Chain A
């Protein structure tokens, strides 16, 4: 998985609780991304980062925030989880070729 880890790999939580997902890379790549993947919707970009403390919104950013204080770590936070945020979350980093991305193993999140 190109030196990308995600934690936790599985999580079950209750509506209204805060949740933080962590993405860690050992490749020292500048760009990092958070996606969610849902049946019928495919991969949708939540937020991305183009450097330490530099982030921007994707197409489904409502209800999510991110932080990147170090090159290797990109955190995704659900401030108050809702059932609609039940999904599989993937972190990705930019690849060597322009515009390519390499994905982590994913986090399966269930919000009850």
Chain B
């Protein structure tokens, strides 16, 4: 079993839809969770950063962590064509030491006008 799993999609939704992107992880000791967005032919950019369980909201984006299920989600409200990108989850296996991240493969999202 991979340490982090993410459905690669592609996911296609109409403009204005609520999008749910998800990752599962295997190690209950993981503490920090990140979401990155990557546009085509660009480098990944940090979108959300959360610690422990619960929700974190930033504009139209909400990151949710369920540590009991080892499940993290990114919700996008009122999705826009500009949200079309690949979304990657990332988890530091040894939190706080800046050494390595475990990456999901990414979910490709297309928001259709």
Question: Do A and B truly interact?
Answer: yes
Is A64 at the interface (CB under 8 A from chain B)? Answer: no
The residues of A with any CB-CB pair to B shorter than 8 Å are: 1, 30-31, 40-45, 48, 50, 56, 58, 90, 92, 94-95, 97-106
Q: Which residues of B contact A40 (CB under 8 A)?
A: 105
Chain B count of residues within 8 A CB distance of the other chain: 22
CA distance A40 to B103 in the complex (A): 12
B106 near A98: Cβ-Cβ < 8 Å: no
A/B interface sample: 21 pairs, CB < 8 A: A1-B43, A30-B98, A31-B98, A41-B105, A43-B103, A45-B100, A48-B99, A48-B100, A58-B100, A90-B44, A92-B43, A94-B98, A95-B46, A97-B49, A98-B92, A99-B34, A99-B92, A99-B97, A99-B98, A104-B43, A105-B43
CA distance A56 to B99 in the complex (A): 9
CA distance A42 to B86 in the complex (A): 11
B44 near A43: Cβ-Cβ < 8 Å: yes
Is B18 at the interface (CB under 8 A from chain A)? Answer: no
B96 near A98: Cβ-Cβ < 8 Å: yes
B12 → chain A closest CB, angstroms:
19
A42 near B88: Cβ-Cβ < 8 Å: yes
